Structure 1
Amino acid sequence: MRQGREFEDYVARRFMEATGKKVRRANAMFYDEKHPFMLADVDRMVVNENAGLECKTASPYLADKWEDGRIPLHYQLQCHHYMSVCNTDAWYIAVLIYGREFKYYRLERDEDMLADLIQIEEDFWKNRVQAGILPDPDGSKLADRVIAEYFRRSVPGKILLAGFNEKLDRRQELSEKMAELETEKRLIEQELKLYLGEAEIAENEQYRVSWKSVSSNRIDEKRLKEEKPEVYKQYQKTVESRRFTVKVA
Structure 2
Amino acid sequence: MPRGTYKPEVVVETDKLTEEEWLEYRRGGIGGSDVSIIYGVSHFRTCRELYYDKLKIKPYREEEDTTWLQKKMGHVLEELVAEVFAKRTGLKVYEVKKMFCHPLYPFMRADVDRFVETKDGKKGVLECKTTNWQNRDAWADEKYPYQYELQVRHYLAVMNLDFAYIACLWGNNENDFAYRYIERDNEFEDEIIEMERSFWEENVQKKIEPPFVERPDMALKCLKMYLEGADTSLSRKSMPAGLQSNLEQYLALREAKSKAEKEVKRLEDEMKRLSIPVIEEMGACCESELAAAGKKYYISYKPRKAVRIKKENLEKLAVHHKAIYDEYVSESESRTLSIKEMRVS
Q: TM-score, normalised by structure 1?
A: 0.71
Aligned partner letter, 2:113: D
> How much has 1:49 moved relative to structure 2?
5.0
Q: Residue deviations 1:194-242, cap 9 Å, x none? A: 79x635xxxxxxxxx9998889999998364344213434666565x55
Partners of 2:94 and 2:306 lie apart in 1 by 40
Instruction: Within 5 Å, give how 1:1-249 maps onto structure 2.
Output: 1-46=71-116, 50-58=123-131, 62-97=135-170, 101-131=176-206, 132-154=208-230, 156-157=234-235, 158-160=237-239, 162=241, 163=244, 164-173=246-255, 175-176=257-258, 179=261, 198=286, 222=314, 224-233=317-326, 239=332, 241-249=333-341
| Gapped regions of structure 2 (runs ≥ 5) | 1-70, 288-298
Partners of 2:183 and 2:83 lie apart in 1 by 22
Partners of 1:181 and 1:44 lie apart in 2 by 56
Partners of 2:106 and 2:198 lie apart in 1 by 13
Aligned partner letter, 1:246: S
Query: Relative to structure 2, which stretch is displaced further, 91-100 or 170-179?
Result: 170-179
Larger RCO (CA within 8 A; separation ≥ 6): 2
Partners of 1:130 and 1:122 lie apart in 2 by 10
Partners of 2:260 and 2:78 lie apart in 1 by 38
Say which SS state the counterpart of residue 103 (structure 2) adopts. coil
Aligned pair count? 239
Contact 2:163 2:182 in 1 (8 A): yes
Partners of 1:22 and 1:185 lie apart in 2 by 61
Cα root mean square deviation, aligned:
4.3
In structure 2, the CA distance between the partners of 1:134 and 1:8, relative to structure 1 (3 Å rule), is same
> How much has 1:107 moved relative to structure 2?
0.9
Structure of larger gyration radius: 2
Q: Between the two proteins, what is the percent identity of the paired residues? A: 29
Aligned partner letter, 2:251: D
Partners of 1:16 and 1:181 lie apart in 2 by 58
Q: Residue deviations 1:53-100, cap 9 Å, x none? A: 112334555544433323333322221011112322211101234587
| Gapped regions of structure 1 (runs ≥ 5) | 200-208
Aligned partner letter, 1:69: E
> How much has 1:172 moved relative to structure 2?
0.8
Q: Residue deviations 1:125-171, cap 9 Å, x none? A: 22233332222333254333333344243453322263223321244
Query: Relative to structure 2, which stretch is displaced further, 22-31 or 105-114?
Result: 22-31
Partners of 1:173 and 1:160 lie apart in 2 by 23
In structure 2, the CA distance between the partners of 1:127 and 1:247, relative to structure 1 (3 Å rule), is same
Partners of 1:143 and 1:97 lie apart in 2 by 30
Partners of 1:111 and 1:168 lie apart in 2 by 43
Partners of 1:214 and 1:25 lie apart in 2 by 50
